[in-house]
Amino acid sequence: MLIDFNNLNINQLSFETEFEKKIKEFLEEWFSDSDTVKVQTSGSTGVPKIFDIEKKKMINSAKMTCDYLGLKEGHTALICLPVDYISGKMMVVRAVTRKLKLIIVDPSTKPVDALNDEIDFCAMTPLQVENSLDKLYLIKNLIIGGAAVSENLKAKLNNLKHTIQNSARIFETYGMSETLSHIGLKQILPETEVYFTVFENVSISKDERGCLKIFAPNLNSEILQTNDLVEIKNENQFSFLGRIDNVINSGGAKIFPEQLEALVKKEMPNEIVFLGVENESLGQKLILIIEGERSENLINKISEIPFQKSFHKPKEIIFIDKIPRTPNGKINRIELNKIVIENKQH
């Protein structure tokens, strides 16, 4: 299904699938007299919350992204993310605000399988990108969000350089529901950047813990305090180190699981997660969860990885059929921790 927001008449459109009907419901909410719409958080770092967002601030966010990427009236965009969350809602708002042509594809792990024509813009999760490598040459501007882009996926994207046109760009995003999708982008292709660059009118700083503070008055009137540990390069750029609530304290040493995951994912294709489980002598014991069947080959690979510190090496490796995720694709560490604890009790 395609909606041309330069020539929109909702009543003349036929919304058939459940996803298309959800988009229709959101459009009706968007064009209603209310100044706000309801948005749900993903629940990846706690209990999901529903809160009201001002439409004018969502429009501000949409303009920031469209201006940064150079999206113009009549350009084509493809939505393949659930509209229950801010990521999908903002794809619709960008199309409305910039009068784009919006192609609607039901969210799945292979969203662009049927795509045969070039499009100007798309947003996907890392898992969707992983399953769409053979079609990425058709997308001029791709943003990847919902979860960190693994080193393994970055390597696969870099291998596509010769098949993707020079004009095509792929970015990793940084943001959250409270910032109305992303407030900064980091380019993966054609050049690989180390730091996220924030949009205009976004100020960044750190608190005493080293966690990122964001002031984006066009998006949120409050200063947003995150639990994301960062390195700030300058007033516009920062790199993400890990979430402070994911930090593992093992024998007095602080371990950032996201950094270890990035290192290990360079060496293996499986989804992996480092967790700290309670331990009498260490406080927390570092364990590695690998998605898939038990493999001695993978265990040997882990033992050969040049970890920076000896305590970065996992004390235990656990294989699991499926690592739990939130509905929008993020790894659910809270749920995973529960599964590990339950398995140890049996």
- Please determine, for residue 344, whether its predicted confidence score (pLDDT) is greater than 80: no
b/e burial code for range 47-62 (CB count within 10 A of at least 16 → b): eeeeeebbbebbbbbb
What are the sequence ranges of the domains in the chain? 2-243, 247-345
Res 337: pLDDT: 87
Give the span between the Cα atoms of 318 and 340, in whole angstroms: 9
Contact 40, 66 (CB under 8 A): no
What residues contact 107, with CB distance under 8 A and at least 6 apart?
19, 80, 81, 82, 88
Give the span between the Cα atoms of 223 and 46, in whole angstroms: 20
pLDDT in tens, 61-76: 999 999 999 999 999 9
Write down the architecture of domain 2-243 according to CATH.
3-Layer(aba) Sandwich (3.40)
Give the span between the Cα atoms of 29 and 46, in whole angstroms: 27
Contact 75, 98 (CB under 8 A): yes
Q: How far, in Å, are 96, 230, 259, 305 from residue 266 at the CA level?
A: 39, 22, 11, 10
Q: What is the pTM for the complete model shown?
A: 0.81
Q: Which amino acid is at 249?
A: N
pLDDT in tens, 270-297: 889 999 988 888 888 999 999 999 999 9
SS (H, E, C) 36-87: EEEEECCCCCCCCCEEEEEHHHHHHHHHHHHHHHCCCCCCEEEECCCCCEHH
pLDDT in tens, 103-150: 999 999 999 999 999 999 999 998 899 999 999 999 999 999 988 888
Q: Which CATH class is domain 247-345?
A: alpha beta
